[in-house]
């Protein structure tokens, strides 16, 4: 079977004259894996359809937000209803408070929060607040973690930055990143050393509690606890970047799963129900330093947008109501998929290992354990590319990079998983030669 992609290809050609690389976010390009990126025209449940009518079982899910699948009826209805009342007012609406209360119920470490329109804005603003609150300049991040594309955070970053093998970004003067320290993930000694070397100068440590942006990489047992106790001891703030993990690895995010209380939390992806939303929050004493109450400026024309708030609220209410069954089911089905494909690869003699936390997972093309950026970077990306192209041809949509996590939604069925594993068996068999 060879898919027809004639319409997609001509649409892609047009896009390439209009957008750099034909895309509005680099991870959507298929440069790292080769092959032609289909243009998507619709989605329903676990599936997406391209412009030529090919359908795919989707394990990208808009890079995480669509935990209920495409066009979840409660989300669609909420957005339509909100749209009829007006798309934006530049004034406060009651839905913002309703969504905030749902977030706070799930994240007891958050007393107050601020909605923004992206994860990038959330992390950038949380860092500004941490610097203001501590009066310190340095920040610590970890190699392979991605916290959006603000200048200070584009240092040894994950996601597209890792995919395209660049150390950071052109256009970011070194003076702008000289206060950013990038340390290896899962390495307590490296963090101890940084705190020693930069005594009383580190404003905050920002971390993906489960990394998704170098592929899925879980924290080693005790690692997050050590990061928490070191930051407390040194008077630095701990920012858990839960843009991906919030409402994903557990309803209350990684902080609930691992029992870690951060100073600040950043959120995005799932809380917007598929519309653009980010948030940062923490104790009132910290959040009161944000404008207009305090001296830390941060604003947004479309922040707390009524459609986005309605979508997020519908999403969180559905997840909240069903959480006792939804999360165990998602995790179990993810485990079945992850094990099925890993075993199929090994049976075919392919070097493969896997990481999974809840419904976030990655198959790494290596025999080594992957626990930080160096081990992730040692994977055979050429094998990943062949796997990706084969799976796409078989109607399975995976992230077009070794260094991105895949996801599951409540719309995926056990039959979808069986279909996906069977496809992988065929692809691996072809990869052996």
CB of 92 to ligand PLP, least distance (A): 22
Q: Among residues 213 and 366, whose Cβ is nearest to ligand PLP?
A: 213
Q: Among residues 361 and 428, whose Cβ is nearest to ligand PLP?
A: 361
Please compute, for residue 269, the number of CA atoms within 13 A of its CA located in the half-sphere on the CB side. Answer: 26
* Number of chain residues interacting with ligand PLP (CB under 6 A): 15
Residue written as token pair 């075919």: 348
Q: What is the DSSP string of 64-103?
A: TT-TT-BT-HHHHHHHHHHHHH-S--SS--HHHHHHHHHH
Q: Using CB under 6 A, pick the residue from 148, 218, 253, 282 that binds ligand PLP.
A: 148
CB of 213 to ligand PLP, least distance (A): 6
Distance CA 394, CA 343 (A): 19
Q: Which residues are marked as active site?
A: 146, 241, 269
Q: Among residues 282 and 345, whose Cβ is nearest to ligand PLP?
A: 282
244 binds ligand PLP (CB under 6 A): yes
CB of 278 to ligand PLP, least distance (A): 6
Residue 282: name the closest of 127, 165, 157, 169 by CA.
127
Segment 108 to 147, residues that bind ligand PLP, using CB under 6 A:
118-120, 123, 146-147
Which whole-number Å values give the CA distances from 138 to 128, 132, 146, 286, in the listed order? 11, 12, 18, 18
CB of 318 to ligand PLP, least distance (A): 21
CB of 242 to ligand PLP, least distance (A): 7
Q: Using CB under 6 A, pick the residue from 217, 243, 270, 309 that binds ligand PLP.
A: 243
Query: 353 — phi, psi (to 5°)?
Result: -140, 165
State the residue number with the nearest CB to ligand PLP. 119
Question: Is residue 175 within 8 Å of 208, Cβ to Cβ?
Answer: no
Segment 202 to 241, residues that bind ligand PLP, using CB under 6 A:
208, 212-213, 241
Q: Among residues 231 and 245, whose Cβ is nearest to ligand PLP?
A: 245
- Sheet hosting strand 138-142, strand order edge to edge: 112-116, 278-282, 264-267, 237-241, 202-207, 138-142, 180-183
Work out the burial of residue 349: count CB atoms within 10 Å of its CB; fewer than 13 is exposed, 13-18 middle, 19 or more buried.
exposed
Q: Among residues 154 and 244, whose Cβ is nearest to ligand PLP?
A: 244
Residue 122: name the closest of 39, 50, 208 by CA.
208
Q: Using CB under 6 A, pick the residue from 246, 268, 282, 399 that binds ligand PLP.
A: 268
401 binds ligand PLP (CB under 6 A): no
Distance CA 194, CA 287 (A): 27
- Which residues make up the interface to ligand PLP (CB under 6 A)? 118-120, 123, 146-148, 208, 212-213, 241, 243-244, 268, 278
């Amino acid at each position: 079977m060879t898919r027809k992609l004639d319409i997609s290809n001509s649409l892609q050609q047009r896009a390439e004259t209009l957008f750099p690389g034909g895309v509005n976010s680099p991870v959507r390009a298929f440069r790292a894996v080769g092959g032609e990126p289909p243009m998507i025209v619709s989605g329903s449940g676990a599936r997406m359809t391209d412009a030529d009518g090919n359908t795919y079982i989707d394990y990208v899910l808009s890079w995480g937000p669509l935990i209920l699948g495409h066009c979840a009826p409660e989300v669609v209805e909420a957005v339509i209803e909100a749209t009829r009342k007006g798309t934006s007012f530049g004034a406060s609406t009651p839905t913002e408070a309703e969504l905030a209360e749902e977030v706070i119920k799930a994240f007891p470490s958050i007393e107050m929060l601020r909605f923004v329109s992206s994860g990038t804005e959330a992390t950038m603003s949380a860092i500004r607040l941490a610097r203001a609150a501590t009066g310190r300049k340095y920040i610590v991040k970890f190699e392979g973690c991605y916290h959006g594309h603000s200048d200070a955070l584009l240092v040894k970053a994950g996601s597209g930055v890792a995919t395209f093998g660049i150390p950071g970004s052109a256009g970011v003067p070194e003076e702008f990143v000289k206060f950013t320290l990038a340390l290896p993930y899962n390495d307590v000694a490296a963090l101890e050393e940084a705190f020693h070397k930069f005594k009383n100068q580190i404003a905050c440590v920002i971390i993906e509690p489960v990394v998704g942006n170098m592929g899925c990489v879980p924290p080693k047992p005790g690692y997050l606890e050590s990061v928490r106790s070191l930051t407390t001891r040194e008077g630095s703030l701990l920012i858990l970047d839960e843009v991906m993990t919030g409402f994903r690895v557990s309803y209350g995010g990684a902080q609930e799963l691992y029992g870690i209380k951060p100073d600040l939390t950043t959120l995005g992806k799932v809380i917007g129900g598929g519309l653009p939303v980010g948030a940062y929050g923490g104790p009132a004493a910290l959040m009161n330093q944000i404008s207009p109450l305090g001296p830390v400026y941060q604003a947004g024309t479309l922040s707390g947008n009524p459609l986005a708030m309605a979508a997020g609220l519908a999403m969180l209410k559905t997840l909240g109501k069903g959480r006792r069954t939804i999360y165990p089911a998602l995790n179990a089905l993810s485990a079945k998929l992850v094990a099925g494909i890993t075993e199929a690869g090994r049976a075919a003699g392919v070097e493969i290992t896997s990481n999974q936390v809840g419904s976030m997972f990655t198959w790494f093309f290596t025999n080594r354990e992957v626990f930080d950026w160096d081990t992730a970077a040692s994977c055979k990306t050429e094998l990943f590319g062949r796997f990706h192209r084969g799976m796409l041809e078989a109607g399975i949509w995976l992230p077009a990079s070794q260094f991105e996590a895949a996801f599951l939604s409540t719309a995926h069925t056990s039959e979808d998983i069986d279909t996906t594993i069977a496809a992988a068996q065929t692809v691996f068999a072809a990869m052996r030669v």
